[in-house]
């Protein structure tokens, strides 16, 4: 009887000891796993958010756009090409913030999307860079002049070539009276700058002249 009592006590002590150890171990193990997993999840989320924010920031202002991969800008920016080539030949541009309020200056420009805008600011406000190569249908009685247009009844287009890699300039100049009834470039007096570099340009409703001044 004494032996059985001693053996039963020994088993009870072992079970109690094992049970306590198991419960404690499970609690520690579970708690440790949960804590480790939680920290990993939190760290991962933070890293992901930080990466997304970095990408958005680069595209929002100062980031590279266009190029062979056709990178785009954030919705609040536009891709600014210099010169205004619209990214032809895989040229890269820079993401610039879209301008806020634009004035009502009537100076139509041709956008890279083939649409005509009231002025350069209006095009960029819509997220579109001007197109130096044109490609838009000019307003009635206007002729294309780079990304701008000139009233073909009263003016001609003068192009000043920038040979340093910068943008060319386009200006509408008063049309000599002798040129209002002909498309012959000889109507320009020799005193008109670049009159020896005259050519005809097709407009909307009438044709006109473009005088190109080469870079020095």
Please report the pLDDT score of residue 215 as a whole number.
Answer: 80
pTM here is: 0.66
Q: What confidence tens digit (pLDDT) does each residue in 95-133 have? A: 999 999 899 888 999 999 999 999 999 999 999 999 999
What is the mean predicted confidence (pLDDT) over 22-33? 38
Which of these ranges, 128-132, 163-167, 188-192, has the smallest mean pLDDT? 163-167
Domain range annotation of the chain: 145-216
Radius of gyration of the chain measured on its C-alpha atoms: 37
> Nearest CA to 61 among 108, 15, 93?
93
> Nearest CA to 156 among 169, 168, 170?
170
């Amino acid at each position: 009887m004494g032996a059985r009592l001693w053996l039963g006590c020994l088993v009870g002590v072992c079970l109690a000891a094992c049970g306590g150890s198991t419960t404690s171990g499970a609690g520690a193990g579970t708690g440790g796993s949960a804590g480790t997993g939680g920290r990993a999840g939190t760290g991962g989320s933070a890293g992901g958010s930080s990466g997304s924010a970095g990408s958005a920031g680069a595209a929002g202002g100062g980031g590279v756009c266009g190029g062979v991969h056709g990178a785009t800008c954030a919705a609040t920016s536009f891709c600014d090409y210099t010169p205004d080539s619209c990214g032809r030949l895989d040229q890269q541009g820079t993401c610039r913030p879209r301008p806020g309020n634009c004035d009502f200056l009537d100076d139509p420009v041709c956008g890279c999307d083939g649409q005509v805008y009231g002025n350069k600011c209006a095009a960029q406000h819509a997220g579109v860079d001007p197109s130096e190569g044109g490609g838009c249908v000019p307003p009635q009685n206007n002729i294309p002049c780079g990304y701008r247009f000139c009233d073909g009844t009263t003016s001609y287009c003068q192009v000043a070539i920038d040979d340093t890699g910068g943008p060319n300039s386009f200006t509408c100049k008063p049309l000599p009276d002798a040129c209002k009834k002909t498309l012959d470039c000889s109507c320009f007096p020799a005193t008109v700058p670049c009159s020896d570099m005259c050519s005809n340009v097709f407009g909307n409703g009438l044709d006109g002249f473009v005088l190109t001044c080469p870079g020095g």
